Amino acid sequence: MIVILKQNPNREQLESLISWLQEKGVSIHTSIGEAHTILGLVGDTSKLDIDLIAALDIVEDVKRVQEPYKNANRKFHPEDTVIPVRDTQIGGGTLTIMAGPCSVESEEQVVAIAKAVKASGATMLRGGAFKPRTSPYSFQGLGEKGLEYLKVAREETGLPIVTEVMDLSQLPLFKDVDVIQIGARNMQNFDLLKAAGHQDKPVMIKRGMSATYEEWLMSAEYVMASGNENVILCERGIRTFESYTRNTLDIAAIPVLRQLTHLPVIIDPSHATGKYWLVETLSRAAVAAGTDGLQIEVHNDPAHALCDGPQSLKPDVFDPLARKLLKLHAFVRGLDEGD
């Protein structure tokens, strides 16, 4: 950590800062420049509160050198995390395709879609039972009954299920789910993150609409610091000034996260733009960029889906898409290995 002092700092306050820092166990290297004096703090600075130091009268600025996350940091965990989920896995070279309806509407619907997407190559079933909706007047999901239908679909197809929890009080209902999803709007619901950290199953954290990489990784750190190391990160578009698309897919998240963390990265092209006709192109881009998987909305009747219809594909559109993506994935892996 670097502490930049104001010009001509009060000598007494400076000494008091230095001795306070030394108490915390960090050693200090001082560089006295023409315009600024700079303190270089060496040692374990992860427990120092950057804001507290920045608040001192004599301090102009504080800059962090080390990342504030440890468990999620690739520097301390160089190997990729691979997360087993029933007969499949997330990460480790697999292309995970999570497909299914935005919202579970009936047993028939979700079973039919599960069968269709499995036949096309999907490896997991997604579907919402508890739905975060902007309006209190919109359909809020089938709740517990939706979870039951998902389990029926799993039994019929063998596809593991991933579904969203909205409040920690719902967690007991998720005992039997394969992957717990935490939505973008809850990315910084810290009580939920801590509670998810005490579950014995993987947790997929969607990026908040305006969350930085660091904040997102700190949310993963909340789950991991509570004991659950099986965390998956899902990019679903960020909010920008462009309003033609609902969000802007940050494709660079894939290589950036590869560098910063060992956790697997999934792309959600459906929510990233809110337009079904962009799903195929964005999925291709994500596969070419090395994503560990995709989460794609598929509905047998998008025009009558109870939520997020505009971003869903029909099974007969999903089928060739999934096949092409699997081919592209194999080709891209071949590119790297060489010939």
Q: Which residues make Cβ contacts (< 8 Å) with residue 124, sequence separation at least 6?
A: 85, 88, 96, 97, 98, 99, 159, 160, 161, 162, 178, 179
Tracing tokens 């036949």 back to the chain, one arrives at: 119
Q: Does 24 bind a copy of itself (CB under 8 A)?
A: no
Euclidean distance between CA atoms 234 and 237, whole angstroms: 9
Q: Out of 57, 79, 87, 200, name the contact with a copy of itself by CB under 8 A.
A: 57
Crossing angle for the helix pair 213-225 and 253-260, nearest 10 degrees?
Answer: 50
Name the residue nearer to a copy of itself (CB basis): 18 or 285: 285
**Minimum Å distance from CB 293 to a copy of itself?**
15
| Among the residue ranges 77-85, 92-100, 115-123, 206-214, the one whose residues contact a copy of itself (CB under 8 A) | 206-214
Name the residue nearer to a copy of itself (CB basis): 11 or 259: 259
Q: Which residues make Cβ contacts (< 8 Å) with residue 48, sequence separation at least 6?
A: 1, 21, 24, 26, 41
Q: Please give the backbone phi and psi of residue 185, each rounded to the nearest 5 degrees, phi first.
A: -70, -15
Binding mask 270-289 for a copy of itself (x = CB under 8 A): --xx--xxx--xx-xxxxxx
Given phi > 0 = left and psi -120 to 50 = alpha, else beta, which region is 197? alpha
**Other CB atoms within 10 Å distance of the CB of residue 9:** 18
Q: Out of 9, 101, 202, 302, name the contact with a copy of itself by CB under 8 A.
A: 302
Terminal alpha carbon distance of the chain: 45
**Minimum Å distance from CB 120 to a copy of itself?**
15
Q: Out of 94, 152, 201, 309, name the contact with a copy of itself by CB under 8 A.
A: 309
Footprint (CB under 8 A) of a copy of itself, residues 37-56: 38, 40, 42-44, 46-47, 49, 51-52, 54-56
Per rule CB under 8 A, count of chain residues that contact a copy of itself: 110
Euclidean distance between CA atoms 209 and 159, whole angstroms: 29
Q: Does 22 bind a copy of itself (CB under 8 A)?
A: no
Euclidean distance between CA atoms 134 and 147, whole angstroms: 21
Euclidean distance between CA atoms 308 and 303, whole angstroms: 9
| Among the residue ranges 81-89, 90-98, 142-150, 210-218, the one whose residues contact a copy of itself (CB under 8 A) | 210-218
Q: Does 14 bind a copy of itself (CB under 8 A)?
A: no
Q: Out of 186, 199, 228, 300, name the contact with a copy of itself by CB under 8 A.
A: 186
Footprint (CB under 8 A) of a copy of itself, residues 128-157: 132-140
**Minimum Å distance from CB 148 to a copy of itself?**
20
